[in-house]
Chain A
Amino acid sequence: PGASRGLPCAQGSLSPPSFPPTVTSEQIEHLHRRFKQLSQDQLTIRKENFDSIPDLEFNPIRGKIVHAFFDKRNLRQESDGLVDEINFEDFLTIMSYFRPIEMNMDEEQLDRFRKEKLKFLFHMYDSDHDGKITLQEYRNVVEELLSGNPHLEKESARSIADGAMMEAASICVGQMGPDQVYEGITFEDFLKMWQGIDIETKMHVRFLNMETIAHCY
């Protein structure tokens, strides 16, 4: 599998076509140890293995996060749907969506970087994989985030979702006529919504080691 994907994990760099190669071998070692811990020394991880992380249980969108690891679109596979288990390479592929930006990136790389991260988020919302975030899908996400509060009725959750979708529609399509139906947010619309907002620094996990200390962002 390593050879066919063209990812030389054993060496100090990951170079899938769209990402610049700057993951250190130390970081890969750390992640590999973590992988072994999660998989309990097996070669692959299944959804159940994520149950053993107590900190993750805290998270209201835990389901979506775990789901994202098995989503074929995130794993850059041609087909659609979910896989049952992932190996270490797949694990690294998903983790690479959360890499921090490097100092030596040019405009084009930064743009691609940002698009990849936003695409990852988009897939999280678009649960039926049809390329659009519909009102119902959006409502699902809101409900998941809020379902713990007994005082917030379902109606309120729906109205929050509806309000947000309307605002999104106004950004993407402008004023809609009374007969127009907004089908859903496509990826281009999604990108439009995030123009000008700095998400790269919000969506990363930074490793501690001697090298990053020298960089001083």
Chain B
Amino acid sequence: EDVGWAVVRVGAVWLGLVLALIVVPSALGVSLGISEAYMWVLVKTLEWATIRIEKGVKKPQPQMLKTPAANGIIERDETPMEKEIARLHRVDFEFSDIFYFCRKGFEAIVEDEVTQRFSSEELVSWNLLTRTNVNFHYISLRLTVVWVIGVIVRYCFLLPLRFTLAAIGITSMIVGTTMVGQLPNSSVKNYLSEVVHLTCSRILVRALSGTIRYHNKENKPQKGGICVANHTSPIDAIILTNDGCYAMVGQVHGGLMGVIQRATVKACPHVWFERSEVKDRHLVTKRLREHVADKSKLPILIFPEGTCINNTSVMMFKKGSFEIGGTIYPVAIKYDPQFGDAFWNSSKYNIVSYLLRIMTSWAIVCNVWYMPPMVREEGEDAVQFANRVRSAIARQGGLTELPWDGGLKRAKVKDTFREEQQKNYSKMLVRNGSIG
């Protein structure tokens, strides 16, 4: 019985501390400096670890740091097809032309630009998490000891803390929005709903030990606009709502997510679509257009890539979001993978194991850039506009641009692409006067 009481007392003290030190300050938007201190310790530790790893490597190389995987591991010859084949022309065709295609094929097999975007970014140096320990081997006893301490800290201290915070955050979100939803529509209701959303977002961001830096806040999305951003993980939405209120757009889910969706839509006009409605593109566009036309409604938040990419590049933007009209506010989000990998590889991990990985990382550190608004220009169609916005986001976030569709994560390339290449090649042959 005594043990039971002791446990309850410890639990109460724990909860009390959490509430006092984390929940209340974050609700008020005040910082006690605890996260800053934590980050400082973390950065110092990782720097020390990097130096030890560099010292420990015996190879006589001028530089330890490997080239980042984003730039590729093989040397690519970017000579266009015409030039390369013209160089080889001695026998008139295919005997030599096949070299070019053969080599391109092999390059693609060794490394292709697209598939590598669907797996986590490689780190330049180890960050003391087992999951990123791909290239790095045992170095020294001290490093291993630090790693063990890290594991204990992460799993025994940080994980329960974050879990508690997440639970508090989600519960208060559901309860808060339901209560606000009971009120009649008025400016008071809107104000209260914004307060609730912001507070809960802040608590959830603390639950992930998130350190977010917002740049160019003067460009923050205004009411009646559309906010588009690159997509890396489900957390993206929380990262953005931490600093402002948006109307979310998405499909209705079941389970806990569904409960949250149903509760929040009462307080704030989020746009949730049923599964069946998603297929009907005109219906979707119509609803979004109605929402945007009402200038008093919050800006809608859309991720045009349609799927999670690993934050080293921006893939094709689906044109649907750009056909709605209105002003587009682009936002670039770049995570720092050194502290924790935010990318959700949905083919490898389900949402629960993903959240577990996030909560046992060191922290989520990211930069958010708000960019000046863009509108569709005269004579520009939706696809060109989408590409323009995408280039701007990629440039700002320091990401590469790929014309490929994120849907390639699961589907195959359309045959039309291959036929394009064949057409180009045969056009070249015809031009060289090789026929008749």
A: residues with CB less than 8 A from B are 29-31, 33-34, 37-38, 50-62, 65, 95, 98, 121, 124-125, 138, 141-142, 145-149, 151-152, 156, 159-161, 163-164, 167-168, 171, 193, 197, 199, 202-210, 212
Asked whether, in the complex, the Cβ of A148 is within 8 Å of the Cβ of B103, the reply is no
Cα–Cα distance between A98 and B434 once the two chains are bound (Å): 30
Using an 8 Å CB-CB cutoff, how does the interface string of B92-112 with A read, 1 for contact, 0 for none?
111111111111111111111
Taking A148-B419, A148-B423 as contacts, is the C-beta distance between A202 and B98 under 8 angstroms?
no
- Provide the residues of chain B in CB contact with A168, threshold 8 Å: 91, 95
Asked whether, in the complex, the Cβ of A210 is within 8 Å of the Cβ of B426, the reply is no
Asked whether, in the complex, the Cβ of A148 is within 8 Å of the Cβ of B418, the reply is yes
Which of chain B's residues has its CB closest to A91's CB?
B109
Count of A-B contacts with CB under 8 A? 173
B425 within 8 A of A: yes
B residues 148-183 near A (Cβ < 8 Å) are none
Which of chain B's residues has its CB closest to A38's CB?
B109
Taking A149-B423, A208-B73 as contacts, is the C-beta distance between A54 and B114 under 8 angstroms?
yes
Asked whether, in the complex, the Cβ of B422 is within 8 Å of the Cβ of A203, the reply is no
Q: Which has the most chain A C-beta neighbours within 10 Å: B71, B90, B134?
A: B90
Give chain B nearest CB distance to A171 CB in angstroms.
8
- Provide the residues of chain A in CB contact with B56, threshold 8 Å: none
* Those 3 A-B pairs whose CB atoms lie nearest each other, nearest first: A148-B422, A55-B108, A149-B426
Interface of A is mostly: helix
**Chain B interface residue number, banded:** 35 or more
Cα–Cα distance between A141 and B404 once the two chains are bound (Å): 28
- Provide the residues of chain B in CB contact with A197, threshold 8 Å: 88, 90, 96
Give chain B nearest CB distance to A83 CB in angstroms.
17
- Provide the residues of chain A in CB contact with B404, threshold 8 Å: 54
Asked whether, in the complex, the Cβ of A148 is within 8 Å of the Cβ of B110, the reply is no
- A sample of 17 cross-chain residue pairs with beta-carbon separation below 8 angstroms, ordered by A number, consists of A34-B110, A50-B109, A58-B417, A59-B105, A60-B421, A121-B98, A121-B102, A145-B94, A145-B425, A148-B419, A160-B435, A197-B90, A207-B73, A208-B72, A208-B74, A210-B61, A210-B63
